[in-house]
Chain A
Amino acid sequence: MRDAYVLGAGQSSFGSFPEETYLTLFDDAFDAAMDSVGVSIDPEQIDEAFLGTLGVGGRQIGLSGPAVTEHLGLHGVPTTRVENACAASGYAFRQAVTAVRSGLVDVALAGGYEVMTDASSDHTRWWLGVSGETEWERTSGTTFAGVYAQMASAYMDEYDATVEDLSRVAVKNHGNGARNPKAHLGFECSLEDAVSAPSVADPLNLYHCCPTTDGASAVLVASEDVAREHADELIRVAGSGASSGRVGLFQRESLTSVPATVRAGEDAYEGAGIDPSDLDFAEVHDCFAIAELLAYEDLGFCDRGEAGRLLREGVTDPDGDLPTNTSGGLKSKGHPIGATGTGQIVEAFDQLRGEAHVQVDDPQYGLTHNVGGSGGGVTVHIFEREDGGGVA
């Protein structure tokens, strides 16, 4: 099986843009991705596209993928719309990688888009939480924040974690996002702000929850031959892991772990032939603060119950041993559901090329972790900057 490379990656600004559509937002992301390619590539070289979206608002439930590629002028390119909730474009990227690795295509477009802020509050309420388990979880009256809050309650009970531990995720990620001009909530917050914010779903408060966001992101995946012709740095997809889990939290073996993350992570590490200690940075799925803590443990950054310590000791700060969510994460950069997975890969691409807004010192390995719902579908990807390749 041949390797797949990230040839280019870009995103629209993430934020609230009610005047935009999913088509116009994806235009921005696609243009940014094309502009990031070292030696420009003709759009006609794109063989196939995989685009992720949940479709919040119901605007174009059927065939939004082909609508996007036709809008872009990628006329006739086979396009598959991928739906795996918040992991939609993590999975779309995996499809693109698989297509390239298989030899079927040389250049694949992966991406995602979501518009979430243009509907009335009543209409919006119907669309939030649609990725929770519907028959039991939703009909118990839970929201999406509520399910993660339940995890937080169980985690805090099991490990004596504190609201400060949760709040440090917000402080760190806002600190990073404040330096990212494409972030939705690009401002800093203090620990005091984050601890004392109004409750959303106890024990989670406003600063423990990501915003609803409009945005799009796009990644070009290519074969080694194409990458050597067009990329100024060779960014290899070293590992791709994915796993499914029970959609309902109550159906899982653990409330303080996301088993699908553990499985996807193990596959990605094995594929890349590295350990968590080899990573230079990570983008993890911090839709809610507790999710980042669980990700640290599920991805092997630390032992069970140790995530709070990692945050307290600054291990995942930009100057720590494993800087995490340097983009601002979902918390600060924003969470346009379908755009999040490939949005994380935009940050990994920028980091490995030395062009990130919060740049890690000379990284070689980076990881992205994308979770659908509360853990029903997860992708983990590991990227490696190969020395000596590329046209630069």
Chain B
Amino acid sequence: MRGIVAAGVYVPRFRLEADEIETAWGTSHAAGVDRKAVPAADEDSLTIAVEAVRRALADAALDRSTIGTVAVATTTPPLEEGDFVPRLVRALDLPADVATTTATQHTAAGAEVLARALDANGPAIVVTADCPEGEPADADHPFGAAGAAVVIDDDAPVPIADVAWYSDETPGIRFRERGDRNVDSLGITTYERDAVREAVTSAVSSLAVDTVDAAGVAVHQRDGGFPYRITSELPFSSDAVAAGTVADRIGDAGAATVPVGLLSALDGAGSNDLTVAGFFGGGSAAAIACEGSLTARGIDDLESAAPIDYAAYLRERGYIVDGEVAGGGANVSVPNWQRSLEYRYRLVAGACPNCGGVTFPPEGACQECHARVEYDEFEAPRTGMIRAVTVIGQGGAPPEFASLQQRDGGYAVAIVALETGCGTVTIPAQLTDVDPESVSVGDTVEATVRRIYEQEGVPRYGVKFRPSE
């Protein structure tokens, strides 16, 4: 039977404690959310997706060239219209002939892409990644961020026994107006809760599988208490609901919350346990039932505790940042950036057939022997050592990075040495997910794909380095 063969989770490291929201606003509209995950200024749903898929693939015994489908769900694509899956494909060196799907517009989008992968043939990647935003005074309070990726294939250790759907028009529950970055709801408490409960209950009840004994249940979780309230008419134990609830630790991560909850439950499940997921979004509900257990690489991210205060939170998320710097000077054109993607994402370097030395990027004359050669390209390892480092303090960055700096503060920039079989690749790169003042020559760091900067409306992604895990 088709089902999940590998899984990865990524949750940004920052956590905003509920106390911080209470202190800032005098109240918190995030019931049952003890803390929530906060994406760093250089993270978005794409970088979260890249990291989650990278982790899922790390545990999959899979020839990447056989992957036939890549399906993404997010309510917060970096561009409302523009590349998403193709960026994921390039960043992770997936086959160019994969069938692509992007589902968006509601928090049950993950169920749509999962169903698509189950209907497909051969290995399929399904990823949900989300980082919703709302009016900071209220709607934003529970919003977190996370990503979950699974590889779907035949003969799966965690077969997905059934998928069931329910659809009804229930406007005003959770919506975002065209052109607006803020998710809203009308806040008609009883109406909204009853509508979600009815939809989820109907979908779960329609499953062909008897779910009475489910050991884990991950259902729509707009906050930490919501899953218990909307399952009151279903026969689940509160322990089972707790096993699939993650909003208490990462907040409401939009379309990614239920998938992360599902993987959290599967990670802790026994080999014969039944786990149920119940999605809701935009009037649609979907339920799936699966059996067994599975390790989800990165699930420990749920317990991350890198604290952030409320002022830094507003900056980091870009709620109070302008960032535009007018003018013109040094420039890398979009086509020039595009032709360097495999260097920027995958650290492709060149070995010189003449002298054996390495050159990065693998263009122009050899850095060792200065001969003009056709390089033998190879991927450099993603872990290396800092050879030189500095801190670009607040306000001192080149204008392309003004917005990042306003949001995230000073950052460190290093020259990183990556040791390969044929020599040392050196690359200049920004460091992320680290206190810039704490970095020294000799530290070990690993590559991650992040948003580098945005120019003329086009976000550019590439490699940064963070402390090695």
- Interface residue? A251 (CB, 8 A): yes
CB closest residue in chain A, given B340: A135
Within 8 A of B (CB), among A132-170: 132-143, 145-147, 149-154, 157
| Residues of A contacting B398 in the complex (Cβ-Cβ under 8 angstroms) | 125-126, 128-129, 138, 141-143
0/1 interface trace, chain B 351-389, chain A, CB 8 Å (1 if under): 000000000110000010000000000000000000111
| Residues of B contacting A132 in the complex (Cβ-Cβ under 8 angstroms) | 330
A123 and B327 contacting across the interface, CB-CB below 8 Å = yes
Q: Known contacts being A130-B330, A140-B429, is A201 close to B396, with CB within 8 Å?
A: yes
| Residues of B contacting A137 in the complex (Cβ-Cβ under 8 angstroms) | 428
CA distance A251 to B358 in the complex (A): 10
- Interface residue? B391 (CB, 8 A): yes
Contact of A150 among B325, B361, B414, B442 (CB under 8 A): B414
0/1 interface trace, chain B 322-333, chain A, CB 8 Å (1 if under): 000111111110
- Interface residue? B321 (CB, 8 A): no
| Number of A-B residue pairs having CB atoms within 8 Å of each other in the complex | 134
B387 and A255 contacting across the interface, CB-CB below 8 Å = yes
CA distance A251 to B462 in the complex (A): 19
CA distance A81 to B360 in the complex (A): 32
- Interface residue? B215 (CB, 8 A): no
| A207 → chain B closest CB, angstroms | 15
| Residues of A contacting B336 in the complex (Cβ-Cβ under 8 angstroms) | 135
| Residues of B contacting A146 in the complex (Cβ-Cβ under 8 angstroms) | 390, 392, 413
- B360, B367, B402, B415 pick with most chain A CB within 10 angstroms: B415
A143 and B396 contacting across the interface, CB-CB below 8 Å = yes
CB closest residue in chain A, given B453: A139
| Residues of A contacting B76 in the complex (Cβ-Cβ under 8 angstroms) | none
CA distance A204 to B389 in the complex (A): 11
Q: Known contacts being A154-B388, A199-B391, A251-B426, is A122 close to B327, with CB within 8 Å?
A: yes
- Interface residue? B437 (CB, 8 A): yes
Within 8 A of B (CB), among A247-266: 248-251, 253, 255
Q: Known contacts being A135-B340, A250-B415, is A141 close to B392, with CB within 8 Å?
A: yes
Q: Known contacts being A136-B427, A138-B398, is A125 close to B327, with CB within 8 Å?
A: yes
| A153 → chain B closest CB, angstroms | 5
Q: Known contacts being A154-B441, A202-B437, is A145 close to B396, with CB within 8 Å?
A: yes
CA distance A141 to B400 in the complex (A): 8
0/1 interface trace, chain B 300-337, chain A, CB 8 Å (1 if under): 00000000000000000000000001111111100010
- Interface residue? B166 (CB, 8 A): no
CB closest residue in chain B, given A130: B330
- Interface residue? B411 (CB, 8 A): yes
| Residues of A contacting B441 in the complex (Cβ-Cβ under 8 angstroms) | 153-154, 157
Q: Known contacts being A122-B399, A142-B428, A201-B392, is A255 close to B328, with CB within 8 Å?
A: no
0/1 interface trace, chain B 437-464, chain A, CB 8 Å (1 if under): 1001110000000001100000010100
- Interface residue? A388 (CB, 8 A): no
B325 and A122 contacting across the interface, CB-CB below 8 Å = yes
CA distance A248 to B442 in the complex (A): 21
Within 8 A of A (CB), among B388-428: 388-393, 396-402, 404, 411, 413-415, 426-428
CA distance A152 to B390 in the complex (A): 9
CB closest residue in chain B, given A131: B330
| Residues of B contacting A123 in the complex (Cβ-Cβ under 8 angstroms) | 326-327
CB closest residue in chain A, given B417: A250
CA distance A58 to B460 in the complex (A): 26
CA distance A204 to B427 in the complex (A): 21
- Interface residue? A200 (CB, 8 A): yes
| Residues of A contacting B452 in the complex (Cβ-Cβ under 8 angstroms) | 139
- Interface residue? A187 (CB, 8 A): no
- Interface residue? A357 (CB, 8 A): no
Contact of B328 among A58, A138, A147, A199 (CB under 8 A): A58
- Interface residue? A246 (CB, 8 A): yes
| Residues of B contacting A248 in the complex (Cβ-Cβ under 8 angstroms) | 428
CA distance A248 to B460 in the complex (A): 21
CA distance A8 to B398 in the complex (A): 39
- Interface residue? B430 (CB, 8 A): yes
| B367 → chain A closest CB, angstroms | 6
A150 and B389 contacting across the interface, CB-CB below 8 Å = yes
- B340, B388, B391, B429 pick with most chain A CB within 10 angstroms: B388
Q: Known contacts being A141-B411, A201-B396, is A135 close to B332, with CB within 8 Å?
A: yes
Q: Known contacts being A125-B402, A139-B462, A142-B413, is A134 close to B330, with CB within 8 Å?
A: yes
| Residues of B contacting A125 in the complex (Cβ-Cβ under 8 angstroms) | 325, 327, 329, 398-399, 402
CA distance A204 to B332 in the complex (A): 27
| Residues of A contacting B361 in the complex (Cβ-Cβ under 8 angstroms) | 135-136
| Residues of A contacting B396 in the complex (Cβ-Cβ under 8 angstroms) | 143, 145, 200-201
| B105 → chain A closest CB, angstroms | 33
- Interface residue? A17 (CB, 8 A): no
CA distance A164 to B44 in the complex (A): 42
Contact of B331 among A120, A134, A154, A253 (CB under 8 A): A134
A141 and B401 contacting across the interface, CB-CB below 8 Å = yes
CB closest residue in chain A, given B437: A202
| B307 → chain A closest CB, angstroms | 24
Contact of B393 among A130, A138, A142, A201 (CB under 8 A): A201
| B207 → chain A closest CB, angstroms | 50
CA distance A199 to B412 in the complex (A): 13
| Residues of A contacting B427 in the complex (Cβ-Cβ under 8 angstroms) | 136, 250
CA distance A73 to B430 in the complex (A): 50
| Residues of B contacting A145 in the complex (Cβ-Cβ under 8 angstroms) | 390, 396
CB closest residue in chain A, given B328: A126
| Residues of B contacting A154 in the complex (Cβ-Cβ under 8 angstroms) | 387-388, 415, 441
- A122-B399, A154-B415, A202-B391 known, 15 other contacts, Cβ within 8 Å: A123-B327, A129-B398, A140-B430, A143-B392, A143-B397, A145-B396, A149-B390, A152-B390, A154-B388, A154-B441, A157-B440, A200-B396, A201-B393, A249-B415, A250-B415
Interface CB pairs A-B, < 8 A, 24: A120-B327, A125-B325, A125-B329, A125-B399, A126-B399, A134-B331, A136-B361, A138-B400, A139-B400, A139-B452, A141-B400, A142-B398, A145-B390, A150-B389, A152-B390, A153-B441, A157-B441, A201-B396, A202-B390, A202-B437, A249-B428, A250-B426, A255-B388, A255-B415
Interface pairs A-B: 5 shortest CB-CB: A126-B329, A149-B390, A126-B327, A150-B388, A154-B388
